[in-house]
Amino acid sequence: MNPPRFPEMETAFTLTADHCEQFRRDGFIKLKEVLSPSLLAYYRPEITNQVGLLSKETTPLSERTTYGKAFLQVMNLWRHSALVQEFVFNRRLARMAAQLLGVRGVRLYHDQALYKEPGGGLTPMHVDQYYWPLTSAHVCTVWVPLQATPLELGPLSFRSGSHRFKFGRDLVISDESEERLQAAFKVSDHPLIEQPYDLGEVSFHYGWTFHRAGPNRSDRPRAVMTMIYMDAETRVAPPANPQQENDLATWLPGRQAGDLADSPLNPILFAG
Protein backbone atom coordinates (compact mmCIF):
# COMPACT_ATOMS: atom_id res chain seq x y z
CA MET A 1 0.00 0.00 0.00
CA ASN A 2 1.28 3.46 -0.88
CA PRO A 3 2.02 5.80 2.03
CA PRO A 4 -0.67 8.43 2.67
CA ARG A 5 -0.36 11.61 0.67
CA PHE A 6 -0.66 13.56 3.94
CA PRO A 7 0.76 11.63 6.94
CA GLU A 8 -1.61 13.53 9.28
CA MET A 9 -4.45 11.45 7.84
CA GLU A 10 -2.97 8.40 9.56
CA THR A 11 -1.72 9.92 12.79
CA ALA A 12 -3.89 10.38 15.88
CA PHE A 13 -5.27 13.75 16.91
CA THR A 14 -4.99 14.20 20.66
CA LEU A 15 -8.43 13.87 22.21
CA THR A 16 -8.61 14.17 25.98
CA ALA A 17 -11.08 12.70 28.44
CA ASP A 18 -12.51 16.22 28.74
CA HIS A 19 -13.14 16.35 25.00
CA CYS A 20 -15.04 13.07 25.12
CA GLU A 21 -17.03 14.16 28.15
CA GLN A 22 -17.90 17.45 26.46
CA PHE A 23 -19.09 15.68 23.31
CA ARG A 24 -21.31 13.29 25.27
CA ARG A 25 -22.69 16.10 27.45
CA ASP A 26 -23.33 18.66 24.71
CA GLY A 27 -24.01 16.33 21.78
CA PHE A 28 -21.35 18.03 19.65
CA ILE A 29 -17.81 19.33 19.76
CA LYS A 30 -15.80 21.78 17.63
CA LEU A 31 -12.05 21.26 17.44
CA LYS A 32 -9.43 23.52 15.89
CA GLU A 33 -6.38 22.57 13.78
CA VAL A 34 -7.60 19.04 13.09
CA LEU A 35 -6.66 19.20 9.40
CA SER A 36 -3.94 21.33 7.82
CA PRO A 37 -4.67 24.12 5.34
CA SER A 38 -2.46 22.36 2.78
CA LEU A 39 -4.51 19.14 3.02
CA LEU A 40 -7.79 21.01 2.59
CA ALA A 41 -6.40 23.03 -0.32
CA TYR A 42 -5.29 19.81 -2.01
CA TYR A 43 -8.60 17.95 -1.82
CA ARG A 44 -11.04 20.84 -2.19
CA PRO A 45 -10.74 21.18 -6.02
CA GLU A 46 -11.58 17.52 -6.60
CA ILE A 47 -14.49 17.55 -4.13
CA THR A 48 -15.80 20.70 -5.82
CA ASN A 49 -15.33 19.11 -9.25
CA GLN A 50 -17.33 16.04 -8.23
CA VAL A 51 -20.12 18.21 -6.83
CA GLY A 52 -20.33 19.94 -10.22
CA LEU A 53 -20.35 16.64 -12.10
CA LEU A 54 -22.80 14.78 -9.87
CA SER A 55 -25.27 17.43 -8.71
CA LYS A 56 -28.61 17.07 -10.45
CA GLU A 57 -29.88 20.51 -9.40
CA THR A 58 -30.92 22.63 -12.39
CA THR A 59 -33.68 24.79 -10.91
CA PRO A 60 -32.73 28.45 -10.37
CA LEU A 61 -32.06 29.20 -6.71
CA SER A 62 -35.00 31.60 -6.49
CA GLU A 63 -37.44 28.90 -7.61
CA ARG A 64 -36.38 26.11 -5.23
CA THR A 65 -37.98 24.87 -2.02
CA THR A 66 -36.50 25.78 1.34
CA TYR A 67 -34.56 22.49 1.33
CA GLY A 68 -33.32 23.11 -2.21
CA LYS A 69 -32.15 26.62 -1.32
CA ALA A 70 -30.23 25.35 1.70
CA PHE A 71 -27.42 23.60 -0.19
CA LEU A 72 -26.29 21.48 -3.10
CA GLN A 73 -26.15 17.95 -1.62
CA VAL A 74 -24.12 15.19 -3.27
CA MET A 75 -23.61 11.86 -1.53
CA ASN A 76 -21.05 9.06 -1.68
CA LEU A 77 -18.50 11.00 -3.67
CA TRP A 78 -15.97 8.35 -2.61
CA ARG A 79 -17.57 5.97 -5.10
CA HIS A 80 -16.79 8.32 -8.00
CA SER A 81 -13.27 9.59 -7.30
CA ALA A 82 -10.22 7.81 -5.94
CA LEU A 83 -8.93 11.16 -4.70
CA VAL A 84 -12.10 11.89 -2.75
CA GLN A 85 -11.97 8.34 -1.38
CA GLU A 86 -8.59 9.17 0.15
CA PHE A 87 -10.21 12.07 1.97
CA VAL A 88 -13.30 10.14 3.08
CA PHE A 89 -11.24 7.21 4.37
CA ASN A 90 -9.16 9.59 6.54
CA ARG A 91 -8.24 7.45 9.57
CA ARG A 92 -7.56 10.47 11.79
CA LEU A 93 -11.19 11.56 11.58
CA ALA A 94 -12.56 8.02 11.86
CA ARG A 95 -10.42 7.36 14.94
CA MET A 96 -11.70 10.58 16.50
CA ALA A 97 -15.29 9.50 15.83
CA ALA A 98 -14.69 6.14 17.53
CA GLN A 99 -13.09 7.82 20.54
CA LEU A 100 -15.87 10.37 20.92
CA LEU A 101 -18.59 7.73 20.56
CA GLY A 102 -16.76 5.39 22.95
CA VAL A 103 -16.73 2.44 20.54
CA ARG A 104 -13.95 0.18 19.27
CA GLY A 105 -14.50 0.85 15.59
CA VAL A 106 -16.61 2.75 13.10
CA ARG A 107 -18.05 2.12 9.67
CA LEU A 108 -18.96 4.67 7.05
CA TYR A 109 -22.70 5.20 6.67
CA HIS A 110 -22.19 7.58 3.77
CA ASP A 111 -20.38 10.79 2.89
CA GLN A 112 -21.97 13.95 1.55
CA ALA A 113 -20.82 17.28 0.22
CA LEU A 114 -22.95 20.24 1.30
CA TYR A 115 -22.28 23.34 -0.80
CA LYS A 116 -24.30 26.40 0.18
CA GLU A 117 -24.35 28.64 -2.86
CA PRO A 118 -24.02 32.45 -2.68
CA GLY A 119 -27.47 33.60 -1.64
CA GLY A 120 -28.33 30.11 -0.43
CA GLY A 121 -30.94 29.99 2.28
CA LEU A 122 -31.35 28.75 5.82
CA THR A 123 -30.83 25.07 6.61
CA PRO A 124 -33.77 24.51 9.01
CA MET A 125 -33.37 22.96 12.45
CA HIS A 126 -33.45 19.16 12.32
CA VAL A 127 -31.90 15.90 13.48
CA ASP A 128 -30.09 13.62 11.03
CA GLN A 129 -31.04 10.34 12.64
CA TYR A 130 -34.66 10.84 11.59
CA TYR A 131 -33.43 9.57 8.20
CA TRP A 132 -31.34 6.62 9.33
CA PRO A 133 -32.71 3.05 9.80
CA LEU A 134 -30.11 2.22 12.45
CA THR A 135 -30.52 0.60 15.87
CA SER A 136 -27.69 2.48 17.55
CA ALA A 137 -27.39 6.05 18.80
CA HIS A 138 -23.61 5.68 18.48
CA VAL A 139 -23.63 7.52 15.17
CA CYS A 140 -22.07 10.88 14.41
CA THR A 141 -21.26 13.26 11.58
CA VAL A 142 -17.99 15.09 11.07
CA TRP A 143 -18.56 18.49 9.42
CA VAL A 144 -15.42 19.64 7.58
CA PRO A 145 -15.50 23.15 6.07
CA LEU A 146 -13.09 23.41 3.15
CA GLN A 147 -12.51 27.10 3.85
CA ALA A 148 -12.65 29.36 6.86
CA THR A 149 -16.36 29.81 7.53
CA PRO A 150 -17.43 33.10 9.13
CA LEU A 151 -21.04 33.64 10.15
CA GLU A 152 -21.89 35.24 6.81
CA LEU A 153 -21.23 31.90 5.03
CA GLY A 154 -23.71 29.98 7.18
CA PRO A 155 -21.70 27.69 9.49
CA LEU A 156 -23.35 24.84 11.37
CA SER A 157 -24.88 25.71 14.74
CA PHE A 158 -26.10 23.38 17.47
CA ARG A 159 -28.59 23.22 20.31
CA SER A 160 -26.34 22.20 23.18
CA GLY A 161 -27.45 19.01 24.93
CA SER A 162 -30.35 18.51 22.51
CA HIS A 163 -29.44 14.88 21.74
CA ARG A 164 -31.50 14.19 24.89
CA PHE A 165 -34.42 16.39 23.71
CA LYS A 166 -37.30 14.17 22.60
CA PHE A 167 -39.63 16.69 20.95
CA GLY A 168 -39.31 17.08 17.19
CA ARG A 169 -37.43 13.90 16.39
CA ASP A 170 -40.23 12.96 13.98
CA LEU A 171 -40.04 16.21 11.98
CA VAL A 172 -38.64 16.15 8.47
CA ILE A 173 -36.34 19.09 7.71
CA SER A 174 -38.61 21.92 6.56
CA ASP A 175 -39.96 25.38 7.35
CA GLU A 176 -42.28 23.62 9.80
CA SER A 177 -39.40 21.94 11.63
CA GLU A 178 -37.64 25.29 11.97
CA GLU A 179 -40.72 27.08 13.30
CA ARG A 180 -41.86 24.38 15.71
CA LEU A 181 -38.42 23.61 17.06
CA GLN A 182 -37.42 27.22 17.57
CA ALA A 183 -40.60 27.69 19.60
CA ALA A 184 -39.89 24.55 21.64
CA PHE A 185 -36.29 25.53 22.34
CA LYS A 186 -37.31 28.97 23.61
CA VAL A 187 -38.62 27.27 26.74
CA SER A 188 -35.82 24.67 27.02
CA ASP A 189 -32.34 24.69 28.52
CA HIS A 190 -30.57 23.91 25.23
CA PRO A 191 -28.90 27.15 24.08
CA LEU A 192 -28.03 27.73 20.42
CA ILE A 193 -24.27 27.66 19.86
CA GLU A 194 -23.48 29.53 16.65
CA GLN A 195 -19.83 30.27 15.95
CA PRO A 196 -17.54 30.67 12.92
CA TYR A 197 -15.13 27.91 11.91
CA ASP A 198 -11.43 28.57 11.40
CA LEU A 199 -9.67 26.85 8.51
CA GLY A 200 -8.85 23.33 9.71
CA GLU A 201 -11.52 23.38 12.42
CA VAL A 202 -14.11 20.57 12.29
CA SER A 203 -17.09 19.53 14.34
CA PHE A 204 -18.64 16.20 15.32
CA HIS A 205 -22.29 15.84 16.31
CA TYR A 206 -24.55 12.96 17.28
CA GLY A 207 -27.32 11.87 14.96
CA TRP A 208 -29.89 13.04 17.52
CA THR A 209 -28.35 16.50 18.07
CA PHE A 210 -30.51 19.30 16.71
CA HIS A 211 -28.66 21.65 14.40
CA ARG A 212 -29.15 24.22 11.65
CA ALA A 213 -27.10 26.54 9.43
CA GLY A 214 -27.73 30.15 8.50
CA PRO A 215 -27.99 31.52 4.97
CA ASN A 216 -24.95 32.30 2.86
CA ARG A 217 -24.86 36.09 2.69
CA SER A 218 -21.53 36.18 0.86
CA ASP A 219 -20.64 36.12 -2.83
CA ARG A 220 -18.81 32.78 -2.63
CA PRO A 221 -19.91 29.21 -1.96
CA ARG A 222 -19.66 27.59 1.44
CA ALA A 223 -17.90 24.31 0.66
CA VAL A 224 -18.28 21.54 3.24
CA MET A 225 -17.53 17.82 3.18
CA THR A 226 -19.06 15.47 5.73
CA MET A 227 -18.78 11.83 6.71
CA ILE A 228 -21.28 9.92 8.83
CA TYR A 229 -19.74 7.28 11.10
CA MET A 230 -21.58 4.51 12.92
CA ASP A 231 -20.45 2.01 15.53
CA ALA A 232 -19.07 -0.93 13.57
CA GLU A 233 -21.51 -3.24 15.41
CA THR A 234 -24.61 -1.23 14.44
CA ARG A 235 -27.55 -3.21 13.09
CA VAL A 236 -30.33 -2.25 10.72
CA ALA A 237 -33.58 -1.08 12.31
CA PRO A 238 -37.02 -1.57 10.75
CA PRO A 239 -37.65 1.62 8.72
CA ALA A 240 -39.86 4.01 10.69
CA ASN A 241 -40.75 6.34 7.81
CA PRO A 242 -40.46 6.59 4.00
CA GLN A 243 -37.15 8.43 4.28
CA GLN A 244 -35.65 5.52 6.24
CA GLU A 245 -37.00 3.08 3.65
CA ASN A 246 -35.15 5.07 0.98
CA ASP A 247 -31.96 5.18 3.06
CA LEU A 248 -32.11 1.42 3.63
CA ALA A 249 -32.30 0.75 -0.10
CA THR A 250 -29.69 3.37 -1.00
CA TRP A 251 -26.98 3.15 1.68
CA LEU A 252 -27.48 -0.39 3.01
CA PRO A 253 -28.21 -2.39 -0.15
CA GLY A 254 -29.05 -6.03 0.46
CA ARG A 255 -29.48 -5.57 4.20
CA GLN A 256 -32.70 -6.08 6.17
CA ALA A 257 -33.88 -5.25 9.68
CA GLY A 258 -31.73 -7.12 12.21
CA ASP A 259 -28.74 -7.48 9.89
CA LEU A 260 -25.36 -5.97 10.64
CA ALA A 261 -25.09 -2.65 8.75
CA ASP A 262 -22.16 -3.96 6.75
CA SER A 263 -23.04 -3.67 3.08
CA PRO A 264 -20.20 -3.06 0.59
CA LEU A 265 -21.01 0.65 0.90
CA ASN A 266 -20.23 0.59 4.64
CA PRO A 267 -16.54 -0.22 5.05
CA ILE A 268 -14.85 -0.14 8.43
CA LEU A 269 -12.76 3.04 8.52
CA PHE A 270 -11.22 2.51 11.95
CA ALA A 271 -10.91 -0.50 14.22
CA GLY A 272 -9.17 -0.14 17.57
Write the pLDDT tens digit of every residue in 119-149: 999 999 999 999 999 999 999 999 999 999 9
Q: Does 147 fall in a domain?
A: yes
Q: Does 158 fall in a domain?
A: yes
How many Å apart are CA 52 and CA 69, to the nearest integer?
Answer: 16
Average pLDDT of span 220-226: 98
CATH value at residue 126: 2.60.120.620
Encode pLDDT of 26-54 as tens digits: 999 999 999 999 999 999 999 999 999 99
Per DSSP, the three-state class of 256 is coil
Q: Does 1 fall in a domain?
A: no
Q: Does 6 fall in a domain?
A: no
Residue 144, pLDDT score:
98
Residues 6+ apart with CB under 8 A from 152: 216, 217, 218
Encode pLDDT of 166-205 as tens digits: 999 999 999 999 999 999 999 999 999 999 999 999 999 9
Using the predicted structure, report yes or no on whether residue 1 has a pLDDT greater than 90. no
Average pLDDT of span 4-14: 92
Q: Does 189 fall in a domain?
A: yes
Residue 5, pLDDT score:
86
CA distances in angstroms from 29 to 99, 142, 144, 196, 234, listed in the order given? 12, 10, 12, 13, 22
Mean of the per-residue pLDDT values for the chain? 96
Counting the structural domains of the chain, the total is 1
Q: Does 14 fall in a domain?
A: no
Per DSSP, the three-state class of 57 is coil
Residue 261, pLDDT score:
98
Q: Does 196 fall in a domain?
A: yes
Q: Does 44 fall in a domain?
A: yes
Categorize the per-residue pLDDT at 272 as very low, low, confident or very high, splitting at 50, 70 and 90: confident
Range of the domain at 230: 19-263
Average pLDDT of span 225-239: 98
